[in-house]
Amino acid sequence: MKFLRPPPKNQFNVLPTSRFMFLVIFIVFPIFVFIGMYGIILVAAYLGNFDKIFTLSDNWQYPIVKILGIPMIIFFVPVVIIVNYITYISILRFFQRERREYFGKVELIIESLPASLFLRQVNGDGSSQLIYRGGRYHEVYRTRDDDARFDGDIFSLSVGYQKAVETYLACLRDGETVLEWEFLRPDKPSCWIRSYFKTVSLDGNGGGEIIGFGLNIDREREVALRNVHAIRMSSLGEMASSIAHELKQPLQTLSLAAEITMMQSVGHPVPAINTQLETIINQARRAADVIEHLRRFSRGDVPNEPPRPVDLRKAIEGALALVGAYLRASGITVTFNDNTNITLLAHEISLQQALTNIFINARDAMHDLPPGKIRQLRIATRRRGDQLAEITISDTGGGIDTSILPRLFQPFVTTKSTDAGTGLGLSICHGLLTAMSFKISAHNTAEGAQFTITGPAERASAGQIQSPSTGV
Ligand code: ADP
C-alpha cells in the first residue's frame, strides 16, 4: 500500500498490544495460575491426600506444604510466564500472518482496479494532505512514475486551488460529491477524470478524512460526442428523405414541360432548341433516378423480411448513383468490372448501405492525397463456386491504420475526428451483412485498402451471358 505518511495507529492494528494486555499476560494470569495451584495443594493436604501425591508420611504434611510453597512460587511463576509468552507469540505470529495475507489480498485488489484511489486529510479551511494513493492511477492519469507533477495535488493544480477547496468542503458538508475535471498537462494532451469523493470521518474542527476514486472518462466522452454526431447524421438522413420527396414533383413537372414543348415543336423544328430540351429531359430523369435511390435508401429494408433476389450490378450502380458525385468531387475515378450476371440473395437497401459506407470511407482515405497521386476506386465482382458471389472494393488511399485493423468492425473504432466520423459505419455494415449471411473482411494492399464481401447467390444458369466490363 502506498501511504504517503504513516497511517493513523489503531486504525490498522487489529491485535491488542496495549499495556493492559501486557499486564494480563505477564502479571495477572500467572498470579491466578499460582494461586490456583497453591490452592489445589492446600486442599489436597487438607484432605490428607498430600502424602499420596508426594508419597510422604503424615508427620511431614504441613511443614512440607509450607516449605514447598516457596519453591512452587519460584518454579511455577517463571514456567507459567514462559509458557504464556510462547503461546502469546505464536498467536501473535498467526494473526500477523493472517493480517499480512489479508492486506496482501486487499492490496492486490486495489492495485488491479482501473481507478485511482485516494485518502485525503482535509483541514477546516479546505487545505489538505494526501495520505494514501493506490489503484492503477498511472493508467487513469496517463502518466508515469517519474512524472514530477504527479507528486503534487494534481487535482487542485488542474481545477485551481479554490475549486479544489470548495469540492473538499462540499464533500465534508454533504457526505459525498462527484466531479468531472480535465487533468491539464503543459507537455501532453489533457485527459478527463471523474472523481467520486466520500467523507469517512469528521474531526470536529470542520475538517475530516475524505476517501475517493477517480476514473478516466476520455473514452466515454468520445463515445458521447460521436453519438451526438451519429444522431445529427441520422436526422440529416431523414431530412434527405423528405427533400427527395419534395424534389420529385418539380423534376417531373420540369421533364413533362420539356416533353410537351418538344411535342408542340413538331412541324416547326428548331434543332438547337430540341437538343436543349432533350438535355433537360435526360438530366431531369437522371436527377429523379438519384432522388429515387435516396428515397429508397433512407426508407430502408422492411425488417424481418427474408433476403430476396437482387441484381448485383444494379445494387452497385444504385450505391454509386448516391455517392458518385461525391467521389467525382474529390477527383476519384471509379472502375466497375462486373464480369458476371450475378443475382444475390440479399436485402437490397442493406447491401447498398454497406457499399455506400465503404465507398465513402475510400473517398475519405483518398481525399487528402497529395496532388498527382492516383485516386482510384475499383469495384469487381465474381462468382465463387456455384452458390457464392464476391465483391471486392479496392482504393489507392494508402490503407487502413494497422493499429485499428484487428478491431475494424467493432463500434466506435475510428481514426477520424469527432465531427468527421462516428466509428460506427463499418460495424453497422458488418451487422447488416452478417444478418443476410454475408461476410466482410478487409486488408491492406500495396496501394490502399481492400474490402471483400462474400454472400449467397442464385445458381448460375446455363443461359446466363457474361456481361462486358463497364467503366463508370
Ligand atoms: P468512420 O468512417 O466514422 O470513422 P467507419 O467504421 O466507417 O467509421 O470506419 C472506421 C475507420 O476505418 C475509419 O476511421 C478509418 O480509419 C478506417 N477505414 C475505413 N475504410 C478505410 C479505407 N478505405 N482506407 C483507410 N482507412 C479506412
Whether the pLDDT of residue 42 is over 50: the answer is yes
Please compute the mean of the pLDDT values over residues 411-416 and round it to a whole number: 88
More confident residue, 9 or 307: 307
How much of the chain, in percent, has pLDDT values that exceed 90? Answer: 33
Q: Is the CB of 390 under 6 A from ligand 1?
A: no
| Predicted local distance difference test score (pLDDT) of residue 173 | 94
Instruction: Give the pLDDT band (50/70/90) at residue 470.
Output: very low
Dump pLDDT digits (tens) for 48-83.
Answer: 655 555 544 455 555 555 566 666 667 766 777 787
The larger pLDDT score, comparing residue 472 to residue 224, is at: 224
Residue having the nearest C-alpha atom to atom 27 of ligand 1: 400
pLDDT in tens, 162-177: 999 999 999 999 999 9
Site to probe by mutation for ligand 1, drawn from 367, 414, 444 as the one with most ligand atoms within 8 Å of Cβ, is 414
Between residues 350 and 292, which one has the greater pLDDT? 350
C-alpha 76 – ligand 1 centre gap (Å): 87
What average pLDDT is seen over the chain? 81
Give residue 8's pLDDT.
52
pLDDT of residue 472: 38
Nearest residue (by CA) to ligand 1, atom 8, is 423
Higher pLDDT, 51 or 116: 116
Q: What is the pLDDT of residue 282?
A: 85
pLDDT at 85: 78
Label the pairing between strands 376-384 and 333-338. Answer: parallel
C-alpha 156/C-alpha 446 separation (Å) is 50
- Residue 465 in this model has a pLDDT that exceeds 80: no
Q: Is residue 361 lining ligand 1, measured as CB closer than 6 Å?
A: yes
Cα of 451 from ligand 1 centre, angstroms: 11
Nearest CA to ligand 1 atom 17: 400
Of the candidate ranges 141-145, 233-237, 397-401, 459-463, the one whose mean pLDDT is the lowest = 459-463
At residue 267, φ and ψ (nearest 5 deg) are 100, -30
Pocket test for ligand 1, best of 355, 361, 369 (most atoms within 8 A of CB): 361
230 Cβ inside 6 Å of ligand 1: no
For the Cβ of 416 lying below 6 angstroms from any atom of ligand 1, the answer is yes
Q: Tell me what pLDDT residue 246 has.
A: 80
What confidence category does residue 185 fall into, taking pLDDT thresholds of 50, 70 and 90? confident
Calculate the alpha carbon distances from 354 to 372, 411, 434, 471 in Å.
Answer: 29, 15, 11, 21
Residue 210 CB less than 6 A away from ligand 1? no
Tell me, rounded to whole angstroms, the distance of Cα 384 from its chain centroid: 38
pLDDT digits (tens, 9 = 90+) for 269-286: 677 788 888 888 888 887
Q: Is the separation of the CB atoms in 288 and 251 below 8 Å? A: yes
